Structures are given as structure tokens and as C-alpha cells.
Structure 1
Amino acid sequence: MIEILNPPLLARARVTGALVADILSAMRARSTVGTNLLDIDRWTREMIVEAGALSCYVDYAPSFGRGPFGHYICTAVNDAVLHGRPHDYRLADGDLLTLDLAVVKDGVAADAAISFLVGEARPAADVAMIETTERALAAGIAAAGPGARVGDISHAIGTVLGEAGYPINTEFGGHGIGSTMHQDPHVSNSGRPGRGYPLRPGLLLALEPWVMADTAELRVDADGWTLRSATGCRTAHSEHTIAITDDGAEILTLPTT
């Protein structure tokens, strides 16, 4: 299913996007050395409920997962990169944490992710990897607009990731979003320009470049959800929800403060 949002629905999407961004910003500030991942999940739940929104994750049960996800935010640490299921773990200095959040409010969903280092340690390789996913995301957004195609976004993202030397996994990537979290079209993190679904004003896309330092192969954790690098290397992931407009692309998941 591909949805094209009308102006009233797009206005709702802006509200949902800002909520997602504000929750992620708050959780980033609270993610310090010693913070338990289960506390991050609890704090996220409290903010979602207070805002009158709903989690996209608690009852999420796709074919690739093991039953409902059962939590409110994805918390992926170090070699984990996608679908990180919160568990009883306290963050340590130098941990590379990815927070991925999707909520729906007033019938419209938004989805975003951030990666950052916890504490004082700043390994250069980790900093470079995070910055590369952020640059790839910016390139993908710059390539989006009416008249462009999904392949133009994929090519822009893949060019940045590939030129930085990272292997690219195309099994999981960006996606359409609207009344539900995951919709068509799929937006691969590598692709050919001029190919794929043509972008139209009112289309919402969640773009999410992610990489693993030295592999493109994933393995599934024992929890049946968390996806980790097959080699145990570090990972990073950046994501925004954007709306295609008459003039280009509008980022919906920017914090209000």
C-alpha cells in the first residue's frame, strides 16, 4: 500500500514527527553511563502515553520477528544495529547506542533513529561511521522531490556509504509510511538512479541509512528480534521521516527544541 497524504493529514504528520524527534532527543539526553535500557523503554512509554499517541512497536509482529516486539523503542548497542530489543543492560562508557522510534498520533505515523556514543569515549572510527550515516541521510533527502524516483534516493545514499568504504546491506532499508509504520515503496540503501516509484507531493518516506563497520551480513540475536553484525563489529543508523512537497522534501522528525 502507498498512501498520498492530503494537507490536513500532512499537518498531523508534522505533529507526530516532532513528537518522535522530541522523545528521541529526551532519551539521548538521559542515556548516560549506567542507564538501563529498560529505563529508556519505560521513559519512552511514559512520553508516548502523555502525548496521547500509540507505539508502533508493542504489538508489532512481522514475519521476521519472534512474536510481538513488546517494547516501545528499539535500543541497539555496539554490534546491534536494527530492531534492538530493550533488555536488562546498563550502558557503559564508549557504548555506541542507536535509538529507533516510531509512533502514531491522530492516525499518522512517523519514524526516526539516531546513533551516538555514551559517556566520554570518542573512538574515531565510531564517530566517522555515525557521521557517514548522517551524511548519507542528508544526501538521500536532497535527492528527494517531485519528479524524482526512489532509485535516485537509493543511489544518493549508497554513493555516500560506498565511497566511505562501508559494505551495504540491502535487505533492510527505508520505506513508505502513513497511517501505518511500514508501507511501500521500499527504499534500498543502494540503487540505480532513474528507477523505481516516482515521488509525488504528499508521499511520506522514512529514509534510514545504516552500516556495519566491516560486513554486510546480519545475524539474529537469541531474542528473535535484535539484528547484529555477523562479525561483531560496530554499527550505526540514522533515520528521518520526510514528506515530498511541491518544492522538494520536508523533514518531519526534527525536535522542537
Structure 2
Amino acid sequence: MTILVIAPHADDEVLGMGGTIARFASQGQKVVIAVMTGHGESPHPIWPREMWDKVREECRASAKALGAAEVIFLELPAACLDVTPAWKINSAVEKVIAQVSPTVIYVPFAYDLHKDHGSIAYAVTVAARPYLSRAKTVERVLAYETLSETHLAPPYLAPAFQPNVFVNITETLDTKLNAMRAYESQLQEDHLPRSIAALKALATLRGTHIGCNAAEGFVLLGEYVR
């Protein structure tokens, strides 16, 4: 089985499903992480190119801690996807899916506060349509939740994240936390969402849904038995 984790930004993969990545990797599954955004081809309006050198170094260290087989970096402009033509975003996702030939795809939740997440989620829906030849290997598509983004969208204006698939990460929670610590530039203090304390708290809450110490929750978007 090949698992493709599509992350709009480096650290989304750990926040959303670091424990699940570590569990799958420990079971011998091939996990590929695709970070979709970076500086972009043109001068970025907010961040210097050097910033991505650091965060991508952190991402590689984090992925190694999780046991991921590969990290792919793309150059869609971060925080600018709402003004990037949809065909460019769709094309980038299509190329990743064709390159990896995944069995399972994990994507950000489409209704997260960050518009980049919604753009990437939409692109995956377009690129992984089950009748297309490039998606013939895909058996499942699921959405993960991202602390600092998933739970901050205005209520009642869009669907809330209500997980219906859960993965027990009791044995890999510490691995997830260590992988998050690799993101020194992104890690926040314990009273903030991208923090070790927040990750523990969410894992504990999701664990209560299935009667274990720690879990991660997902929304099943599609399952294809061919």
C-alpha cells in the first residue's frame, strides 16, 4: 500500500496525522508526503525565499522521525492560492498523484479557515475523480484536521469537521510529538494551537471516541471497491 499525504504547508502533515503516518510506516506501509506550497516561481509578497530553506529542512527531519519514505516539495505560492488559477493548482496535484500512484490519499479539510487548504482539497477532488485513469490505484480518500485552521472557520457557514474514521495512535503519539518538535520555527507555546500540549489534548479527545488513550480523526470522502 502506498499512502499519499497531501499537505498545503509544511507541518500540516504532522499536526493532522503525524501519529497515523508513524503507525503506517511502522507497519511497513510506504508513506509519501507532498508539501504543495513554498516560495513560488515569482517573488513572494510576504516571505523571503530563505524562510523555506529552514522550514523544509525541518520538514525533512520531521518526516524522518515519522518514518515517511519520501517528501515531495512543490512551488505553489503559499498564502496566495486564492488568487492562483485553479488549473495550476489542479495540475500540481495531478502530477503528484501520477508520480506516486497512491492507494490512499489524505487531504486537508476543505472548510478550514486557511484558503490554501480549501484550494488544495478542491484540487484533489478534481484530480482524483475515481473514473480517471490516473486515479485507478486510489481506493480511499480521507480528510484530516489541522490545529489552528480546521476549528476556526465561522460556525454554521460551512460544514464542521465531524470525523467518522479514527486511528489509534497510542503507540505513536510520542513519535508525533517528537516530529512536531523538529519544526522549531512553527512550534508554539502550550496555550496556542500548534503546540505539544494542544496535540496531546486533541489526541486524547479523539481517543475517547474509540476508547483508547490517543487517536486521530478523519472524514472519509470516498471509498472505491473496484
TM-score, normalising length: structure 1 = 0.26
Greater helix content: 2
TM-score, normalising length: structure 2 = 0.28
